[in-house]
Amino acid sequence: MKKRFLAPLACICLAFSQGSLAAETGVSDTTILIGQSAAFSGPAQELGLEMRQGAKLHFDAVNAQGGIHGRKIELRTLDDGYEPDRAAANTKKLIGEDRVFALFGYVGTPTSQAALPIFTEAKVPFIGAFTGAQLLRDPFNHYIFNVRASYFDETEKIVEQLVSLGSKSISVFYQNDAYGKAGLAGVERALARRNMKIAATATVERNTVDVAAAAKTINATKPDAVVMVSAYKSVAAFVKEMKKAGSTTQFHNVSFVGSRPLAKELGEEGIGVAVSQVVPFPWSASAPIVKEYQRLMNASGAKEYSFTSLEGFIAAKILVEGLKRAGKDLTREKLITALETMSNIDVGGFQVGFSPRNHNASTYVDLTMIGKTGQFVR
């Protein structure tokens, strides 16, 4: 009697165990749930909106063709306003309550830093963040995959260009947080390689435009150039304040600034302001990936191309390629292994590569400038 009772119970337990192991968190027979926390409101909202726009372009195109191994991608987004505390809360919700399969396309260094211990402890992949900060690269993290070049790559290119053109005095205006300090460290590193030091530094608080004191401090040193490491609203305010004080310095930004919204904020005062970029030129169809991006943007009715939405598009394309390689029996570890096999991949004129000990896909950096019509030129 006892054996007859235990046998069915054992079968039920085994079936439940097999069932719980069969489906990875965030994966069903029909969907793959991806989570994103970014700024969709506040002074940095254009960055989050454009990053999501580009990613959804590719995800929607893949879904329209049947998805990946029969599953469609669902991108669940939460607004963090570019504030670390909100990003941490969103990350806990996405992982704990929404039970996403992976995290994708976070926007910003301080927000990514706040999420880092949470997704690492939960063993959730974190892919394609819109930041070049070293804290996502060193020390190596099994769960982080960076698509874009680092701020060290960008600031090296900027300093190389400035010094080659004769700049001897270079100052730094930076956001007083992990992002700004990452860019500052990059400039210090690039100058040290040339036996040079920063002429002056000044800061602005995140999500503010209180730049008068910073402009006064830096303008007093009359630098040949200023490298700016902040978001578009505070950078625009700083440039205007400097020009109002009579400065004729050369202004350079790292890519996170948000190129399109920066040009809009500056208007005619943006002419000649330079920005480093980590993706191809969105208005040139010479690269196949840009042609694809433009075609889908036009089909969606989107009015303006941008570097940030193209970055979201490229990051989404790389995630999709990893999901395809991971196979139908999808798990987080299989996705990680699949991404690590992408050692030298051309995703349409843009080279990327991961390995088991290198999760940084690209070192590509280009330099651009705001032209007379507000459009970017190379």
For 272, list phi and psi in degrees, rounded to 5: 90, -10
Residue 228, strand partner residues: 173, 253
Closest C-alpha among 81, 109, 77 to residue 93: 77
Choosing among 3.40.50.2300, 3.40.1390.10, 1.10.1740.10, 3.40.50.300, the CATH entry for 151-277 is 3.40.50.2300
Structure tokens at 122: 């939960």
Distance (Å) of CA 112 to CA 86, 128, 300? 11, 11, 29
Q: What is the pLDDT of residue 9?
A: 40
Q: What is the dihedral of CA 161, 166, 168, 173, to 10 degrees?
A: -40
Q: What is the pLDDT of residue 94?
A: 98
The answer to whether the CB of 180 falls within 8 A of the CB of 162 is: no
- Pairwise CA distance, residues 320 & 62, whole Å: 8
For 299, list phi and psi in degrees, rounded to 5: -65, -30
Q: What is the pLDDT of residue 47?
A: 97
Pairing label, strands 225-229, 250-253: parallel
Per residue, the 3-state secondary structure of 87-145, as one string, reads HHHHHHHHHHHCCCCEEECCECHHHHHHHHHHHHHHCCCEECCECCCHHHCCCCCCCEE
Residues of the chain with CATH 3.40.50.2300: 31-149+285-362, 151-277
Residue 346, strand partner residues: 351
Sheet with 102-104, strands from edge to edge, namely 72-79, 31-38, 102-104, 126-127, 144-145
Q: What is the pLDDT of residue 14?
A: 38
One-character DSSP codes across 188-240: HHHHHTTT---S-EEEE-TT----HHHHHHHHTT--SEEEEES-HHHHHHHHH
pLDDT per residue over 152-177, tens digit each?
999 999 999 999 999 999 999 999 99
- Pairwise CA distance, residues 248 & 230, whole Å: 20
Q: What is the pLDDT of residue 318?
A: 98
Closest C-alpha among 355, 341, 83 to residue 205: 83
- Pairwise CA distance, residues 309 & 296, whole Å: 12
pLDDT less than 70: residues of the chain: 1-22
Question: Has this prediction a pTM greater than 0.85?
Answer: yes
Q: End-to-end alpha-carbon separation of the chain, Å?
A: 83
For 79, list phi and psi in degrees, rounded to 5: -85, 125
Provide CATH code, domain 31-149+285-362.
3.40.50.2300
Closest C-alpha among 378, 364, 370 to residue 132: 364
For 358, list phi and psi in degrees, rounded to 5: -140, 110
pLDDT per residue over 87-111, tens digit each?
999 999 999 999 999 999 999 999 9
The answer to whether the CB of 367 falls within 8 A of the CB of 157 is: yes
The answer to whether the CB of 280 falls within 8 A of the CB of 349 is: yes
The answer to whether the CB of 330 falls within 8 A of the CB of 346 is: no
Structure tokens at 173: 């205006």
One-character DSSP codes across 249-284: PEEEE-GGG-HHHHHHHHGGGGTT-EEEESS--TT-
Structure tokens at 366: 């280009």
